[in-house]
């Protein structure tokens, strides 16, 4: 059963699933669909849709006080809209958005790995590997060899990086508000290094999430198969290099988060 404050407005054409909460002054306009467990705090507004438009807030979404969601926007499951924000476009699952226009500033229930400082280590000592709370995901810190002619850092595939690459790609020129990735691979392994600037990577195994900042050319992140990956918070000069264990294969991608969660459950059941 939903909880609707007497001072909230719910348009007759809007649909409301069980378990929703509408606080005082919340406004749910025409053509809006609220799935189970959505919460609108005080004075949050979901603008009326025009003919042919639908605004959808998926399961477990929370919209903070005085926030506004424009018509036709889809906010995916468990996303959070912070107070006072104005949402003008789709929000992915578990994202936390803020501002006007709203941009992604984080992800729900995500641990943060502290970014290691760039400390040149003399010689060519061994690389260090830090495990994370996410299944199989690891942070790699490679040695730096300082030289007056220019510093050097090096890593070795199969010895320090657990696969042999067959493909690479680079991502650059990403506007700071944009996100990349938002998919998983069934078979492909990946290794990410931000060669210039910085960006943050969210790795998700379907149970736990961790956010890692890549901010140095000797710091890398290993993503095994069946890991949902997102890259965001790019600096203007960010240059991300990604090594992949396989050639491009469209069938290897899982691009819908709900499909990913289902695939994880199926894989672990066997």
The answer to whether domain 112-269 has CATH 2.60.120.10 is yes
CATH of domain 3-108: 2.160.10.10
Banded pLDDT at 52 (limits 50, 70, 90): confident
pLDDT tens digits, residue range 160-204?
Answer: 999 999 999 999 999 988 999 999 999 999 999 999 999 999 999
Return the pLDDT at 114.
57
**Cβ atoms within 10 A of the Cβ of 46, count?**
32
Q: Which contacts of 74-79 are long-range, i.e. CB under 8 A and separated by 24 or more positions? A: 76/257, 77/35, 77/257, 77/258, 78/108, 79/108
pLDDT, tens digit, for every residue of 101-116? Answer: 999 999 999 988 754 4
**Residue 183 among the catalytic residues:** yes
Using only the alpha carbons of the chain, give its radius of gyration: 22
77-97 pLDDT, tens digit each? 999 999 999 999 999 999 999
Where in the sequence of the chain do the CATH 2.60.120.10 domains occur?
112-269
Q: Quick one: pLDDT at residue 159?
A: 92
Q: What is the pLDDT of residue 119?
A: 41
**Of these residues, 9, 112, 140, 183, which one is catalytic?**
183
Q: Is the per-residue pLDDT at 122 higher than 60? A: no
Domain limits, CATH 2.160.10.10, in the chain: 3-108
Report the Cα 213 to chain-centroid distance in Å: 13
Q: Which of 26-35, 65-74, 170-179, 224-233 is least confident? A: 170-179
Look at residue 120 and tell me whether its pLDDT is greater than 60: no
Q: CA dihedral in degrees (87, 33, 72, 52; nearest 10)?
A: -170
What average pLDDT is seen over the chain? 93
Read off the pLDDT band of 124 (50, 70, 90). Answer: very low
CA distance 95 to 85: 14
Segment 238-260 shows an average pLDDT of: 98
pLDDT band at 70 (very low <50, low <70, confident <90, very high): very high
Q: Tokens for 270?
A: 């066997």
Tokens of 188: 């492909």
């Amino acid at each position: 059963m939903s909880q609707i404050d007497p001072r909230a407005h719910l348009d007759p054409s809007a649909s409301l699933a069980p378990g929703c909460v509408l606080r005082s002054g919340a406004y749910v306009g025409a053509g809006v669909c609220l799935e189970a467990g959505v919460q609108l705090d005080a004075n949050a507004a979901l603008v009326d849709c025009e003919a042919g438009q639908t605004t959808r807030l998926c399961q477990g979404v929370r919209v903070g006080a005085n926030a506004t969601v424009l018509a036709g926007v889809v906010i995916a499951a468990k996303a959070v809209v912070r107070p006072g924000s104005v949402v003008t476009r789709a929000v992915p699952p578990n994202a936390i958005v803020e501002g006007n226009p709203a941009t992604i500033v984080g992800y729900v229930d995500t641990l943060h790995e502290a970014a290691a400082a760039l400390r040149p280590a003399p010689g060519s000592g061994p690389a260090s590997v830090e495990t994370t709370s996410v299944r199989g995901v690891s942070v790699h810190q490679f040695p730096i060899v300082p030289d007056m002619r220019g510093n050097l850092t090096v890593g070795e595939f199969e010895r320090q990086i657990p696969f042999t690459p067959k493909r690479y790609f680079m991502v650059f020129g990403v506007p700071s508000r944009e996100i990349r990735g938002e998919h998983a691979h069934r078979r492909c392994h990946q290794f990410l290094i931000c060669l210039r600037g910085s960006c943050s990577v969210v790795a998700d195994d379907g149970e736990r999430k961790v956010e890692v900042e890549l901010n140095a050319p000797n710091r890398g992140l290993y993503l095994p198969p069946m890991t949902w990956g997102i890259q965001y918070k790019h600096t203007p000069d960010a240059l991300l290099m990604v090594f992949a264990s396989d050639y491009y294969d469209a069938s290897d991608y899982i691009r819908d988060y709900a499909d990913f969660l289902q695939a994880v459950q199926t894989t672990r059941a066997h």
